[in-house]
């Protein structure tokens, strides 16, 4: 039990260790020390030019950006908060990438950014400047389906088809990085894309089939 003898509690208010928790004054003191630490870290680790440029774009302002999508450059005005998914669908009219969960869980919006599968719903359009962006439309070979698209068709790797564009793009990215994957590698490579219809066995068969087609020279990287 704490002593109530005032003589035993002569600490300055806000610093008495016998009091539970932290006082408002103590909190403000620690907050000030924390702010000083943040300021010091900023001096020690200067921001990159790209980060400074992003800070200069205020919320609601429009920034002129150029995106290279499926081999073509598109210059447009975009708000810094716009996602890449929103821009490619609503501003560029490429609606193959689907709106799913919009929080990086389902993979329906998957695109390739410099050959790496990325969720377009979790990527800001301004982040994708200077990168090579490939959507499911960019996997076509003229008027013909690309090898991964063809494999999905032949193996009946879809039911409702809503997740299929993202599945196809994810498979394409995986095969670009690993042209001859094992079954376990296919499972891991496709684990970021969900199929509500449960067509996974056919999806995995399609990826393996696409890998074989590519190895036989029946398709390139698009």
- Span 194-217, pLDDT tens digits: 999 999 999 999 999 999 998 887
* Percentage of the chain modeled with pLDDT above 90: 68
Q: Are strands 132-134 and 72-78 parallel, antiparallel or unpaired?
A: unpaired
Q: What does the alpha-carbon distance between residue 221 and residue 210 come to, in Å, rounded to a whole number? A: 11
Q: In this predicted model, what pLDDT tens digit does every residue of 146-194 receive, in sequence order? A: 999 999 999 999 999 999 999 999 999 999 999 999 999 999 999 999 9
* Whether pLDDT at 103 is above 90: yes
Q: What does the alpha-carbon distance between residue 135 and residue 110 come to, in Å, rounded to a whole number? A: 8
Query: Across the strands, what pairs with 117?
Result: 112
Domain-wise residue ranges, the chain: 54-215
Q: Please state which of the four CATH numbers 3.40.718.10, 1.10.760.10, 3.10.20.30, 1.10.3720.10 is assigned to the domain occupying 54-215.
A: 3.10.20.30
pTM equals 0.72
Q: What does the alpha-carbon distance between residue 111 and residue 128 come to, in Å, rounded to a whole number? A: 11
Q: In this predicted model, what pLDDT tens digit does every residue of 117-130 receive, in sequence order? A: 999 999 999 999 99
Average pLDDT for the chain: 83
CA 89: distance to chain centroid? 16
Mean pLDDT to the nearest integer, 84-97? 98
193 and 170 Cβ atoms separated by less than 8 Å: yes
CA atoms within 13 A on the CB side of 131: 19
């Amino acid at each position: 039990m704490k002593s109530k003898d005032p003589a035993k509690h002569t600490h300055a208010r806000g610093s008495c260790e016998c009091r539970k928790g932290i006082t408002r004054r103590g909190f403000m003191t620690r907050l000030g020390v924390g702010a000083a630490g943040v300021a010091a870290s900023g001096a020690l680790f200067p921001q990159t030019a790209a980060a400074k440029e992003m800070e200069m774009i205020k919320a609601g302002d429009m920034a002129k950006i150029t995106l290279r999508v499926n081999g073509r450059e598109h210059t447009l005005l975009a708000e810094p908060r716009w996602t890449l998914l929103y821009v490619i669908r609503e501003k560029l009219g490429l609606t193959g990438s689907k709106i799913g969960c919009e929080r990086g869980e389902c993979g329906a919006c998957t695109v390739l950014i410099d050959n790496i599968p990325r969720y377009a719903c979790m990527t800001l359009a301004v982040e994708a400047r200077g990168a090579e962006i490939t959507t499911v439309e960019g996997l076509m070979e003229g008027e013909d389906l690309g090898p991964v698209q063809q494999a999905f068709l032949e193996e009946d790797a879809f039911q409702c088809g809503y997740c299929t564009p993202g599945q196809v793009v994810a498979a394409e990215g995986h095969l670009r990085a690993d042209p001859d994957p094992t079954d376990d590698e296919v499972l891991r490579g496709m684990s970021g894309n969900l199929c509500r219809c449960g067509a996974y066995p056919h999806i995995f068969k399609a990826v393996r089939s696409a890998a074989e087609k590519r190895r036989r020279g029946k398709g390139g990287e698009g």
